[in-house]
Amino acid sequence: MHIRKPAKPTLFRKFKLLFISMASFFTLTIFSLILFFSISSAARHHSPDSSTSPSISLQIRGACKASRDPPTCESVLTDSGNLPSDLTTSLIIQSAVKVSSKNNDKAKEMVQAIIDASTGNNQNRTDAGKVCMEVLGYAEYRVGLTGQAVMNGGYKSARAWMSSVMVYQYDCWSALKYVNGTSQVSKTMSFINSLIGYSSNALGMMVNFDLYGGDTGSWTVPKTERDGFWEGSGSGGSGQVKGGVPTGLKPDVTVCKEGGCDYKMVQEAVNAAPENEQTRKFVIWIKSGLYEEKVRVGLEKKNVVFLGDGIGKTVITGSLSVGLVGVTTYETATVGVGGDGFMASGITFQNTAGPGSPSCSIPIRQ
């Protein structure tokens, strides 16, 4: 006879298993809650003060409204390590300038590596690298002037310097564009493209601060002439820049080809100019004649003035072109100027390379 086993023990085991499962669940739940509050407490004790972080983020976000790429602007500034605890709009701008400066130095290291790798086996790439190093050196100097101007509240001067910084950095990128045949050059170009963006961020903030002040509520991406915007030069509202070579300047040295002057070549007179003169102008009177030479006014030669005897009478001419081996467009300039405060009047600069041979007469590197 078949005897059926009682069902009670089986039911008891089911209840026992259910009780164990529920006990485990509650244990895990309690453990998770304890862990959660422990982590939260640790975060409050070891992370930056929660009362300051949101305000810093809001200030950076407000300043980066002046950027053409706000997310990158916010990220770069936050990660830069240049932000003080007592953050102000002016200090944010100074930090943005430091980001440009730091990365400009990094770009120089990368370009130097290109020169080292190319010397002796690729002349064009070596020459492009040297052009890059020169203009990035100018950028380094101008970004330093920018930082000083911002700290002193001279935002119009800062805007001028920072604009030139962007031009130099673009010149470097452009020089590499024609020798972009290696991953090393490509990587460097990509980095410099980002660098130009960092400089643009700083410039955009300066423009907004100059126009609207430190309250970022009105800040936006700066408009340009392409947008139909022309900024006035002052309270007069004319929007025209007043300047020009002052009258009555007395020459410090003279140049003439026939003799009887201090120098026969323009470059010799430039070399005689004092270095890093901050205020006084060094006036070179270049008398009538055709001067066939390549002239360079270096960064250290400040406030140099060329006075000629009239357009078409005093002529400095050259014929360098890109068609020549190892010559870039940048290097074809008959007269190249890097020093601050350069002026010229009554003189002709020309390049006779002719059509079909890319060249230029005078790049002003200021």
DSSP string of 222-273? PP-GGGT----SSTT---PPP--PPSSPPPSEEE-TTSSSSBSSHHHHHHTS
Ramachandran class of 290: left when φ > 0, alpha when ψ lies in -120 to 50, beta otherwise: beta
Sign of the torsion formed by the C-alpha atoms of 189, 191, 195 and 197? positive
pTM for the whole thing? 0.76
Per-residue CA distances from 269 to 241, 284, 297 (Å): 30, 7, 10
| pLDDT at residue 69 greater than cutoff 60 | yes
- In whole numbers, what is the pLDDT of the chain averaged over residues? 83
Contact assessment for residue 343 and residue 362, using Cβ atoms and an 8 Å cutoff: no
- For residue 335, list its beta bridge partners: 295
Q: How confident is the model at residue 233 (pLDDT cuts 50, 70, 90)?
A: low
Q: How confident is the model at residue 231 (pLDDT cuts 50, 70, 90)?
A: confident
| pLDDT at residue 18 greater than cutoff 60 | no
| pLDDT at residue 22 greater than cutoff 60 | no
Q: Among 11-15, 79-83, 253-257, 280-284, where is mean pLDDT lowest?
A: 11-15
Q: What is the mean pLDDT of residues 185-211?
A: 98
Per-residue pLDDT tens digits for 247-260: 999 999 999 998 89
Q: What is the mean pLDDT of residues 119-132?
A: 93
Q: Are strands 289-292 and 314-318 parallel, antiparallel or unpaired?
A: parallel
Number of helices followed by number of strands (H, E) in the chain: 8, 9
Q: To the nearest whole percent, how much of the chain has pLDDT over 70?
A: 77
| pLDDT at residue 2 greater than cutoff 90 | no
Nearest to 347 by CA among 294, 291, 277, 272: 291
Contact assessment for residue 363 and residue 333, using Cβ atoms and an 8 Å cutoff: yes
pLDDT of the residue at 192: 98
Q: What is the mean pLDDT of residues 164-191?
A: 95
pLDDT of the residue at 198: 98
Q: How confident is the model at residue 84 (pLDDT cuts 50, 70, 90)?
A: confident
Per-residue pLDDT tens digits for 303-360: 999 999 999 999 999 988 776 666 777 778 899 999 999 999 999 999 988 776 666 6
pLDDT of the residue at 36: 37
| pLDDT at residue 204 greater than cutoff 80 | yes
Q: What is the mean pLDDT of residues 284-293?
A: 97
Q: How confident is the model at residue 56 (pLDDT cuts 50, 70, 90)?
A: low
Q: Residue 140 has which token pair? A: 């380094």
Q: How confident is the model at residue 12 (pLDDT cuts 50, 70, 90)?
A: very low
Per-residue pLDDT tens digits for 28-54: 343 343 333 333 333 333 333 333 444
Q: Which value, in Å, is the radius of gyration of the alpha carbons in the chain? A: 32
pLDDT of the residue at 241: 54
Nearest to 301 by CA among 241, 253, 359: 253
Q: Among 228-232, 288-292, 349-353, where is mean pLDDT lowest?
A: 228-232
Per-residue CA distances from 11 to 17, 25, 218 (Å): 10, 21, 74
| pLDDT at residue 230 greater than cutoff 80 | no
Sheet holding 314-318, edge to edge: 289-292, 314-318, 348-351
Q: Residue 274 has which token pair? A: 């004092």
Q: How confident is the model at residue 87 (pLDDT cuts 50, 70, 90)?
A: confident
CA–CA dist 348, 351 (Å, integer): 10
CA–CA dist 310, 129 (Å, integer): 38
pLDDT of the residue at 322: 73
pLDDT top residue among 323 and 157: 157
pLDDT of the residue at 225: 82
* H or E element at residue 365: none
Sign of the torsion formed by the C-alpha atoms of 58, 64, 65 and 70? negative
